[in-house]
A = this chain, B = another copy of it.
Amino acid sequence: MLKIDLTGAAEFFDGAGLDCAAAAEAHRVLASRTGAGGAFTGWLDLPARMENGELNRILAAAQNIQRQGEVLLVVGIGGSYLGARAAIELLRTPSHNELPGATAVYFLGNTLSPDAVNELIAVLGDRDFCVNVISKSGGTLEPALGFRVAKALLQQKYGRNGAKKRIYVTTDANKGILHDIAVSEGYERFTVPDDVGGRFSVLSAVGLLPMAVAGIDVEAVLSAAARELMDLDLRSPENPAWQYAAARQHLYRRGKSIELLACYEPSFRYMAEWWKQLFGESEGKNGIGIYPASLEYNADLHSMGQYIQDGPRTLMETVVRFERPAGSCKVPFVMGDPDGLNYLAGRELFEIQQIAADAVKTAHISGGVPNIVLSVPQRDEAGFAALVCFFEMSCAISAYMSGVNPFDQPGVEEYKKNMFRQLQAL
């Protein structure tokens, strides 16, 4: 369902052209699950597994949480919150928590800022709330401390037993600190699968429970994702995941070391954050990897536009476009035409957005920035599923093409070791 348009990048490809054969080979390694990190390829059939597994319990828990209060506090960091936050902002709105109707979802456990924690407590006010703590092991410091804070708030408000009914845990099925706490306290539990790394986990309970609480149709997400993964697997040379992976690697090897992921919808912001983790953490190792950066258009055309047009020619640009808006917004007519824009009066803003996007594309290409366009029909469950599956698949393929293990993150341990050493010396 996702379409890729490489015409704006093609003039930057040299004679060798795209190495789609290498992408296909990387895909075969991925599908065989025998490549580096092959034990973490469970996301390849996660949608079908969820439909036959935890889905109904997730839906029931989401209904419970909605009945229990106005707010869900999600405690998690990295892959344990970015996917859900991305989905909620894209499919609802970044202002989700300010609109009446659906349960508000706030995120905790991803900061050590006392001010940020205190501000969140002020925003929570005296509203009824539940907590969903998400951590594979329970040993990560930020969410562990966030959970301590959230639990203390719950116990203060509802007592020890009342709090227990409001804590939902997403963690390892069989082991780990958080698993053990959940079992001994009797919290309702959901699973972080063993064969799915954090940044590939949005279609497990990790992402689905907060999404369902926010009012997203997660059944529609899963069924669209299952179809999408099948499509991506069967299409041959035109497989868009191969094309994207091959184009990125081709351009990277020719000096395009920064990829700008841009979108004209402000609601895409956390999708871009999710994408940065996915690609940055999968590819950035052994001294190589494209730097993943993101931009929000049109806003950032008026901040980073100058650099993109005239700075070092080390950029490639990938633009996500939605083919249809959710609603209508027409340019108002103004008597006397003081700003000279009445020639646009009555036009759909979306039509003008499309023209702006085409103009930007032309300008950036002429400035020496290869342009890739990814398009999906709409900002809806199917569009979200298509983007997630496409990016996960193309990321794994691209990482294999560059010779690294897409599924490990050895570099993340370095600061943790230093930190725990210092903390334990307190």
Contact = CB atoms under 8 A, between A and B. Distances in A.
Interface of A: 77-79, 82, 93-95, 97-99, 110-120, 122-123, 138-142, 144-145, 147-149, 151-152, 177-178, 180-181, 184, 198-199, 257-258, 264-267, 273, 276-277, 280-281, 283-289, 291-293, 298-299, 301-315, 325-329, 331-332, 334, 338-341, 343-344, 347-350, 352-353, 355-356, 358-360, 362-364, 366-367, 379, 409-412, 414-419, 421-424, 426
A300 to B, nearest CB: 8
B264 A287 contact: no
B112 A349 contact: yes
Given A339-B181, A355-B423, A149 B411 contact: no
A128 to B, nearest CB: 17
A303 B82 contact: yes
B303 A424 contact: no
B327 A115 contact: yes
Please state the number of chain copies in the assembly: 2
A110 B152 CA distance: 41
A161 to B, nearest CB: 14
A298 to B, nearest CB: 5
Nearest to A357: B112
A301 to B, nearest CB: 7
Contacts of A266: 111, 113, 116
A341 to B, nearest CB: 6
A412 to B, nearest CB: 5
A264 B78 contact: no
Contact of A355 (B113, B114, B419): B419
8 contacts: A77-B302, A95-B123, A148-B339, A177-B340, A198-B302, A308-B411, A309-B415, A343-B424
Given A79-B303, A112-B264, A145-B352, 4 more contacts: A99-B122, A114-B328, A118-B329, A273-B303
B348 A144 contact: no
Given A77-B298, A281-B307, A326 B115 contact: yes
Given A145-B352, A356-B415, A415-B363, A265 B116 contact: yes
Closest 8 A/B residue pairs (Cβ): A284-B307, A78-B302, A309-B411, A277-B303, A284-B311, A114-B329, A359-B418, A359-B419
Contacts of A363: 414-415, 417-418
A339 B281 CA distance: 27
A152 to B, nearest CB: 4
